[in-house]
Structures are given as structure tokens and as C-alpha cells.
Structure 1
Amino acid sequence: MTIESPARPPATPLGLQTSTRYLDSLADGRQVWLDGQRIIDVAGHPAFTEAAHELGRLFDLQHDPALRDQLTTPAPGGTHRLSWAYHLPTTVEGLRAKRHNADVWMHESWGQHGRSPAFMSTIAVGIYDFRRRLGTNRPEFETNAENYYRYCADNDLVLAHALGDPQIDRSATPLDDPDLALRIVAENSGGIIVRGAKQLTTLAPFAHEVLVYLSASFANRGAEQFVVWFGAPINTPGLKILCREPFGHGGFGHAHPFGRRFDEQDAMLFFDDVFVPWDRVLLLHDGALAREGLGRINAWSQYVGQVRFRERLQSLLSVGLVLAESIGVDGFRNIQEDLGELASYIDILDYFLDAGEAGAHHTDGGLLAPAATPAAAVWAAQIASRCTEIVRRIGSAGILMQPTEADLASTELRPFLDTYMRGKTLPVDQKARLFRLAWDLTEDGFGSRQDLYEFVHRGDITRNRINLLHKHKNSAHVERVRSVITQPISS
């Protein structure tokens, strides 16, 4: 096959996205596949159009005079504006500006966009911050990292990241079977050629670029040649995007108000001898550096991710409160206790966010990074399903059976609906929409995907717990116990 180089970045920055520019940009020849068919018009396809237009709507908010300064800031040199998500923070004020930018993005999407541009842009910030360490792998990688960040920031690009390797045989390594990992099959003066796959790349059909990294796990088992980081345009020749079944498109009428708007899509990426120019390669064959980099480049995304999770919990709490009122159980002590538990988790997230700012530190890359809060990742994975369960238990069987909009419009059915399916505080039409919203958040395919996403997207919870244990196992408190048992304790 002929390997072609992807188009070079535009010399003149395009600046902030608009909905029109964003939607037009998705028609770039990308190979998006769904249900055995290649999708030529992503923005116009029924499975993707509402989600794509929702992202476009969010980009247009950056041009709203009421939100402009909260969402954007002048670029260095003042020739155009950048999203605060792409801002390189060097002060606490700059760090908080990223948080306030995320507040808008996450509020507008009800906390449902786990990989929103407001989140993914911070990964590019992390790549920039880690540039000098990448330069220890090869000097040119420092320049590549800085240029890649500036290209993404100046053009307000939507990023996806490809992390996980194919889930074929987790007991083996690519030394046993090279198809277990993305790998370099050739190098030449122009770049590298990669073959393989990456799984669960969220946002891929809606993105402009994909960042490939994480493969440090194989280095623990002697397979460092499979460690490779790079950035690639989504429309790179040879890159195929296989999408899962979309959510929110079953049922009737307005049955899935969130699923249709906020399904980010998850995809497998197949790299069929994809050419990556050297100026887009960021790291090669250094497992120790890759492991170090994973935490470094995600410092700001973890911080912004907590803003998103807080908004998701606020949405669940608000729906739960109105559900309880609508059927007259809001005065029950067990319901109040459950909702109070959910409210406590929202406050705890505020504490984590404040802790990140209070412990912020300057990195060797020259930026101000929020303090790491690894316990937050473990805690969030533990309580996420419980939060969904609280709302599910309040609505109970009522979540399963609600009339559609067509039912509500039926003159023959409506008297029965008004009599037997109304709520204590809401007429039947509002109660039906409320309960369908709860169904979308907690029970249907979209709600179940969101629940699973909360458990897996922060990384393996077992590994995260073990890492926390290692942090404490050699502490002074442990040594205190060792010392006190070396001889009998005196009375």
C-alpha cells in the first residue's frame, strides 16, 4: 500500500472554533465505521448528528459576550484568543480560570461529557509541560511536544486519546503475540509506520486529532519496543474508526433526551500501516519515562475531570430531589438520608478541587500544576454506581413505565393518564418527562454506559489502590509500629 503523509498544520492560526467550522471539519475523509458501513457524513448521520451539533453549540458559547472572558483568553501576542482549557497556567489564578472554564462546559452538558474538549485540551497542556523530559528520550521530541501543543491550541482542535491495548489475552505480552499491542513495523527518514489497534477511544468520530500513549504497562514485562507516543490526525490514511452501537436512538419520541445529545461514542482504532511523521512522534521505547509521564501529562485533566464528575453528581441529585417530590416520598427519612449521602459526595469533590489548588506546585516544565489527588480516583470509582443506585431506588418501578409524548397527545388515553399516572406535585406530562430523564441517566444503554465509564476511565482501580498502599507502606507510622514491637512495651 502507499503510505501518505497527513496534511501539514495551517501556518496561520484559525483561532476559536465555531459550530459551523467544527461541523464542516468533520467532512475530512476520516474512515468512520458503524454497523458494517462506512459513514461519509459524520455530522449529518442520524447516529451522530445530535451529538456533533451539541459540541458545535458548546463551541459557539465561546463567542457569547456574557461567557467570552470565562471561556477564552488572548493568546500570547494577542493575534487571536485561546480556550482557557488550552491555557498554560503559571499562577493559581490561571489554574482557577481553567476550573471556571470547565464549570461552563460541564454544566451545559450536565456532567455527561467525560471526554469533552474542555477535558482533552488539558492533555495537550500536559504534553507541553512534559516536553523537557520527553527531550531526554530524543532531543527533537521536546520541540515536537511544544509544536503539537501550539498547533492544537491555536486552532482549538478537538482531541481524543487512545490508551488501551486490544483486550485479547491479558495474561500474555506482545512478545508472545505482536497483535496484542500497537507496534512500529518500519522506520524511515520521514517517520514511523505503525500497525495494530487501540480500544475504547472515546470521542474519536468527533475529534480532529488522536493522542496515542499509555503503553508503559508492557515495559514492566520486557516489551519496551512497544512503547510509543504520537499524535495523528483522525483522517490519517490507514486509520479506521470502528464505533460501537450508538445510544439514545431507540424508543419513541423524546424517550432519550440525554443519550441523543451527549453520547460521545467509544471506538476501536485500527492502524493499518499508518505513517506518522517524525515531527509528530513524542516518545519511543522508554518505559520508565512513559510511566513517569502518565501522571505528569494528566495533572490538569484529573483536576478538570473532578469538575465534570461534580456536575454529574449534581445532575443526579437534582433529578433525585424532583423525583422524590413528584411522588410524595421527599419527607421519608430513608429517602432524605440517601439524597443527603449524594449531597455529601458533591461537597467532597469541592474539597478535592480545593486541595488540588492549595497544593499546586510549579513543574520543571514551568507551569503550575494542581496537587495530585490519587485517592479521589479510587473514591470516585467506588461511589459512582452508588450515586446512580440512589436515583434508581427513588424512582423504582416508575422509571420502567411512563407514557410517551404520543401517548400524552392521545385524546382517548389522556383522561386515564391524567387520573392514574400523574404525580403529587406534577401533571402527567411533566412527570413522564422527568421519569424518562431518570431512565436515561440510570437505566438505559446510555445510563449504563455512563455508569461503567465512571468505574473504568480513571484506570484500573486495583492498580490505583495498590499505588496508594505503596505510598503509605513505608511511612513513619509503619516504622513506629515496627519499633514498638521490638521489645515489650513498658507499663
Structure 2
Amino acid sequence: MDISGSTGAMTGEQFKRSLNDGRDVWLDGRRIENVAEHPALKPTVDEFARLLDLRFATAEARATTLFESPETGNQISYAFSLPKTQQELRAKFAASAWWMNESLGQLGRSPDFMSNVVAGLVDYADELEENRPGFGDNARNYHRYAMENDLVLTHALGDPQIDRSASPLDDPDLALRIVEEREDGVVLRGAKQLATLAPFSNEVLVYLNGVTAARGAEDFVIWFALPMNAPGLKILLREPLGNPESGHSHPLSNKYDEQDAMLFFEDVFLPRERIFLQGDSLRALKGLGRINAWSLQSTHIRFLARMKFFTSVAKKLAHAIGVDSFRGIQEQLGELVSYAQTLELGIKGAEADSSFTPAGNLVPGHSNGLGFWSADISARMVQIMRQIAASGLIMQPTEGDLASPELRPFLDLYMRGHDIGAAEKARLFRLGWELAGSGFGMRQELYEYLHRGDPGAGRTRLLRSYDMSDVDARVDELISAPLNDRALAGA
């Protein structure tokens, strides 16, 4: 892929312009002509633009998030880097921490996440080349192209929820598939869900589809990258979660609603150079862990930032209504802190347990179990915040109410808090509502539960792959003869 004219890390203005590329985006039955300026999308676009610009704001931010391309001299994102040393690995994840802290852990699809997936894709290039000649080079060229152009990416992994009891072999519309193979590429038909960040992305990466070893399923197994403005690609958005015109503040959903989308592929032509894997379900299954080795660590780092933000808001909610001295409340707040500390140690442990891939790149230790634990902890965090703040999450005045001379005396008297005024308390509780009660909060919680993959299936895979052979051998030795105190003492 041609990188001539690439400028490296995008500015906020470049990002906004990149979204108005003729893509076919739909919301509430209407086609969106200008993604960057649409009222339902503009606040999030502006926040992404702010974060992209913030990388250039100070020498420290630039040094943390960007490095110089050895090929072009462009400033490029650390998320695309392929670390070979512990120092380079730390630099890669310091950039992840910058993204996640600046966005309060609310952006599951910050550019850092998918850029790390693209890095994982190129790490798997040799194995992709074994699938079909040229696919490995396609991965290498795409990594170079995405990195030098600072592409913002989404991914679309799930097949549409039509009938999960049936097989795509019986009804091909149940999964995205190849309907025509040509010398210069393939034609795709079908749908994909759930593409988080789709309207704000430059391209989509698909790498989990039709994962079945059944004979005849080859047309459903394909990894590829596609521009969001590809002819025949239609993008359907869900209902926006923020409402800037309601009068009530939506401090998180107006800035961090990443949007989720269905992608409809209406006989979309996919050029050969954009295909990375085709027809090889076993290689696809094997590759999932490899290409997500860095992105999983990025996810842990983001969830830690979300945990800390959650805990801070919960502590302030408790203090605002004077319950932070109650033992039960302190135990709940301490529980939140214990989760943050556990995850922080897990992140450090995965980095310390790093190893080299067959491609010679340094990746963190396996930490899927930490991810499945996080999926469950997210719901517990929401439960604790609801118990602490109780009905106060529901009834809070708007800025209009606070500005009313007639209402304000009542608000100052009856809606103030412990050492906090009515206005500050209302704003604090709106943060709590956004985290633990609003549509945005519930979408975020569902996202945390599902986006690492189905936890049940993941734990089953973990059971099958986790090496306990040394302990199993000790147990077998113990039960091979009658148990007695002496045998146990020697165990």
C-alpha cells in the first residue's frame, strides 16, 4: 500500500476531515451527510479531536505517545510499535496509559486499542503467509500503511443475531461470506455486529468470522481491512446515548459515546492486497491470541483507569451525603480499591512475564483470566455505586433549575449535601448516574462484560490451556497409595 504523502500522527482537524469521505452512515432512518457535524455525533468527534491534538500540546505528551518513524521520519503512535526490549514494551504501554487516563477509561475503542491489534496482525504475518502466499506481506504492508497514516480503526467480529441455533451452512445469511472470488480480490455479502466506533473510524478490521472447521465453511472464514467508505458498505447506528438538549447534563455520554453499528456488506469488493487470511479456520483460531497480545494489555490499562475514576466518584458520593464514616460504606469503598489494586498488580505481572513471539517481538504474559475477572467485577462496581448513592442518583436538579431565582432557595436548603453545595452535589450525582444508571452507564457495563469475548466460553478455553501438570502429578502421586500423615507431610 502506498504511503507517499503520509503525514503520520493526525491532528484533530485532519481527523474531522477524514470522516467526511462519502461513507454511507444511517441513524433513525436518515442518511448522515456530515459525520463530523451531525448533532448526535459531533460531541464525540470533538473529544477525539481534542485527544489527538493533545498529543502535540506538550513535549511530555509528544514523547509519551509518539515516536519517529525510521522509514519516513513521521511522528507515529506507539500503539503501532513492535517492541523488542523491555524498555520498548514499557514505552508502548505508557502511551496506552496516557490515552486511558486522559479519557477516564471511558473509551473502549480509543485508537490505542485497534492500533495494537494491527501490530499483532503483523506479528502473525509469517503464519498468515503459510495460509496463502502474499497474505503475510499484505499484513506487513497494512501495518505500515495504517501506522504512517495514523488510521483510527474499528473491528467487527460478531455475526448478526438471527438464529444462533442454526448454522451458516444451512442459511448463508447468518454470517458474512465470500460470494465471488476473482483474481484481484473477493466479493463479500452479509452483515457484521457490533462495530464500536464505526462512524468515527477510517477503516474496519474483520478477523473473527465463521470460525468453524466444518467442511464447506471456507467461504465464511476471512480476515481483512476495509475503508469505511467502501462502495456497498452500509453503516447503521444505534440510538445515541447522550442528549445535549434535555437540560440535564450528560457529562460522559455526550463526550464518550463511541457509538456501535451494524455493518451491511452489499456485494462489497475487497481487493486482494487487503486480505490477510482466508478459508483456514484453525489458523484463525490459533491467531486470535497472537494478534490480541498487546491489545489485551491495553484493555487492562483502560479498565484500571475506569476503575479508579469509578472509585473516586463513589468516594465523593459517599462523602456528599455524609455516609463515608459508616463501616459498611467504608467496606464497599475498600472493596473498590482492592479491585483496582488487584488489576494494577495483574498489569505489572503480565508485563514482567513478557516473552518473545516467533516473530521476535516482546509481548506481555498471558492474562485472559484477568480479563474474564474484570468482566464480572464491572457489574459489582455498578452495584456498589447504586447502593451508596441510592435514590440520589435519580433526582437531581438541572443547570436550569439551579439558575432559577425562584427554585434556588429550595435547592440550597433541601438538595445540598454534607459540606457540598446543591450545584456541586447535583453535578457529582450526574456523574454517578452516568456511570451506574443511565443508558450510557448500562451500555458501558454490558460492553465490559462482553467485549473480551463470552466469559463462559473464555473460561472453558482457559481451563483447557492452563498448565497445571506439575500439581496434577503431585495429586496423582498422593492418591496412588493409602493416605497417611507421613505421606501428606512429605507432599
Q: TM-score category by the smaller chain?
A: over 0.9
User: What's the counterpart of residue 63 of structure 1?
Assistant: 56
3-state SS in 1 of match to 2:191: strand
Residue by residue, what CA displacement relative to the aligned partner does 1:223-275 show, whole Å, maximum 9, x if unpaired? 23311000000100000111100101177335211001000001010000000
1:216 touches 1:290 (CA, 8 Å); kept in 2?
Answer: no
Instruction: Supply the RMSD in Å over aligned alpha carbons.
Output: 1.5
Counterpart of 1:151 (choices 142, 145, 155) is 145
Residue by residue, what CA displacement relative to the aligned partner does 1:135-183 show, whole Å, maximum 9, x if unpaired? 0001200110000000000010101011111111212211111011110
Q: How does 1:135-146 map to 2 (within 5 A)?
A: 135-146=129-140
User: What's the counterpart of residue 34 of structure 2?
Assistant: 41
1:490: how far off?
Answer: 5.0
User: What's the counterpart of residue 392 of structure 1?
Assistant: 386
1:115 touches 1:202 (CA, 8 Å); kept in 2?
Answer: yes
User: What's the counterpart of residue 16 of structure 1?
Assistant: 9
User: What's the counterpart of residue 355 of structure 1?
Assistant: 349
Question: 1:425 and 1:490, CA in 2 relative to 1: closer, same or farther beyond 3 A?
Answer: closer
CA distance in 1, matches of 2:239, 2:2: 33
Greater CA drift, 197-206 or 162-171: 162-171
CA distance in 2, matches of 1:349, 1:435: 26
Q: How does 1:77-92 map to 2 (within 5 A)?
A: 77=71, 79-92=73-86
Greater CA drift, 130-139 or 472-481: 472-481
Q: How does 1:92-111 map to 2 (within 5 A)?
A: 92-111=86-105
CA distance in 2, matches of 1:219, 1:422: 62
Counterpart of 1:165 (choices 143, 149, 159) is 159
User: What's the counterpart of residue 29 of structure 1?
Assistant: 22
User: What's the counterpart of residue 3 of structure 1?
Assistant: none
1:216 touches 1:288 (CA, 8 Å); kept in 2?
Answer: no
1:173 touches 1:223 (CA, 8 Å); kept in 2?
Answer: no
1:485: how far off?
Answer: 3.2
Greater CA drift, 367-376 or 274-283: 367-376
Q: How does 1:237-386 map to 2 (within 5 A)?
A: 237-249=231-243, 252-386=246-380
User: What's the counterpart of residue 442 of structure 1?
Assistant: 436
Question: 1:182 and 1:22, CA in 2 relative to 1: closer, same or farther beyond 3 A?
Answer: same
User: What's the counterpart of residue 426 of structure 1?
Assistant: 420
1:72 touches 1:84 (CA, 8 Å); kept in 2?
Answer: yes
Give 2:460's aligned amino acid. I
Question: 1:221 and 1:357, CA in 2 relative to 1: closer, same or farther beyond 3 A?
Answer: farther
3-state SS in 1 of match to 2:213: helix
Give the length in aligned residue pairs: 484
Q: Percent sequence identity over matched residues?
A: 51
Give 2:444's aligned amino acid. Q
User: What's the counterpart of residue 54 of structure 1?
Assistant: 47
CA distance in 1, matches of 2:419, 2:78: 42
1:97: how far off?
Answer: 1.1
The reply on whether 1:214 has 2:195 as its aligned counterpart is: no
Residue by residue, what CA displacement relative to the aligned partner does 1:180-224 show, whole Å, maximum 9, x if unpaired? 111000011211001011111100000001001112533368623
CA distance in 2, matches of 1:434, 1:413: 19
1:216 touches 1:291 (CA, 8 Å); kept in 2?
Answer: no
CA distance in 2, matches of 1:159, 1:82: 15
The reply on whether 1:195 has 2:178 as its aligned counterpart is: no
1:20: how far off?
Answer: 0.6
User: What's the counterpart of residue 488 of structure 2?
Assistant: none
1:173 touches 1:221 (CA, 8 Å); kept in 2?
Answer: no
3-state SS in 2 of match to 1:217: coil
1:219 touches 1:227 (CA, 8 Å); kept in 2?
Answer: no
The reply on whether 1:181 has 2:195 as its aligned counterpart is: no
Greater CA drift, 480-489 or 114-123: 480-489
3-state SS in 1 of match to 2:26: strand
User: What's the counterpart of residue 489 of structure 2?
Assistant: none
Structure 1: 5+ residue stretches without partners? 1-7
Greater CA drift, 220-229 or 452-461: 220-229
3-state SS in 1 of match to 2:35: coil
